[in-house]
Amino acid sequence: MLNKYARAFFTRVLTPFAAFLLRRGVSPDAVTLIGTAGVMAGALFFYPRGEFFWGTIVITLFVFSDLVDGNMARQAGISSRWGAFLDSTLDRVADGAVFGGFALWYAGTGDNNVLCAVSIFCLASGQVVSYTKARGESIGLPVAVNGLIERAERLVISLVAAGLAGLHAFGVPGIQILLPIALWVVAAGSLVTLGQRVVTVRRESAEADAASASESAS
């Protein structure tokens, strides 16, 4: 849902920056790789240490590369299947690092096995949600469904909650509860989204099979 509106807004905002990078000879693939490395560093260095505010700041600075690289490719007229593949693949890596960082915190100093398991579920379900769409499209189905919580929603909910929870280190009382709440919301929303996509693929595949059978019979 956020993809439809937020992506269009930030694409317009970041277009001048994308043009600047192109003039400096930076390639879209380089931006993709640097952005992913930055997200991983922010998530896997700061989050396991409980430094959620600074980790979120670092991640947010790099996460916009996901919009900049595509913008650069379109401006330069060099959009390619390879670029789309690399971008999508590294998105999964970055998402895994974010929720992996949460899991490491709760498995260690955070000392909460339930929230560790919820973090791992968020990580795994996010990958599966993305896979269901990709797999459905690979067998010729449109997978025409807007899921309840897709990648943009997962990141925004998790990062905003983590950043605010990190204010506990600056003396804001009780605010750390926002991160567990966000993880439960993302876990439940991802489960619903997975169900939406599975149901959609089942319906679309049945319709496609019926159409193929009708054509064969005629």
- From first to last of the 218 residues of the chain, give the pLDDT tens digit: 555 556 667 677 888 888 899 999 899 999 999 999 999 999 999 999 999 999 999 999 998 887 888 888 888 888 788 988 999 999 999 999 999 999 999 999 999 999 999 999 999 999 999 999 999 999 999 999 888 998 889 999 999 999 999 999 999 999 999 999 999 999 999 999 999 999 999 999 999 999 888 877 76
Strand, helix or coil for residue 146: coil
Q: Is 201 annotated as a binding residue?
A: no
Six-digit token string for 48? 């396991």
Q: Is 147 annotated as a binding residue?
A: no
Which positions ≥6 away from 16 have C-beta within 8 Å? none
Which positions ≥6 away from 138 have C-beta within 8 Å? none
Q: Report which residue type is found at 7.
A: R
From the list 91, 95, 111, 209, the catalytic residue is 91
CATH number, domain 10-207, options 1.20.120.1760, 3.30.70.20, 3.40.50.720, 1.10.1740.10: 1.20.120.1760
Distance of CA 90 to the CA centre of its chain: 10
Q: Is 91 a catalytic residue?
A: yes
Q: Is 32 annotated as a binding residue?
A: yes
Output the pTM of the full model: 0.90
